[in-house]
Amino acid sequence: MAVVRDGLVLAAYRPGDDGGWEFPGGKVEPGETDEQAAVREIREELDLEIKVGESLGPGVDISPEYRLHVYLATAVGGDPVLREHSELRWFAAAELDERDWLAPDRPFVRVLRTSL
C-alpha cells in the first residue's frame, strides 16, 4: 500500500539478506476485498488509519500463490508505529530510488515518481 501524507510516501524496510524497502501491507483474507485488506493490514502493521484510493497498475507475481497489488492510500489518522520492520521512512518522489526497493515493489516506485 502506497500510503501518502503531505506529498510523501511511506516505506518500510525489511531487514535481512534479501531485505530492502517495500510498501507496507499484507495478504487478503477470505471474504475481503483488496481495499478492506489494506485498511486492516495497515492498521495491524502500523497503527495507522488510511483511505484507499486508486490502483497503481496491474499486480506483480511474488510467488505461485500471491500477487502484489499496490494502491494509493491517504493517511487519515494516527502516526505510523514500527512493529514488523526495522525502519519506517517518508520519501519525497525525488528520493525514490528503485535500486533500494524489493524487486516486486519497483514497478510501483516508477509510477509514484511521476505521480506524487
pLDDT score at 104: 93
pLDDT score at 40: 96
pLDDT score at 48: 95
Question: Is-contact 36 104, C-beta < 8 A?
Answer: no
Question: Is-contact 102 21, C-beta < 8 A?
Answer: yes
Calculate the CA 45 to chain-centre distance. Answer: 11
pLDDT score at 65: 86
48-106 pLDDT per residue, tens:
999 999 999 999 998 898 889 999 999 999 999 999 899 999 999 889 988 889 999 99
Ordered domains of the chain (ranges, CATH): 2-115 (3.90.79.10)
pLDDT score at 17: 87
pTM for the whole thing? 0.87
pLDDT score at 29: 92
d(CA 43, CA 20): 22
pLDDT score at 97: 85
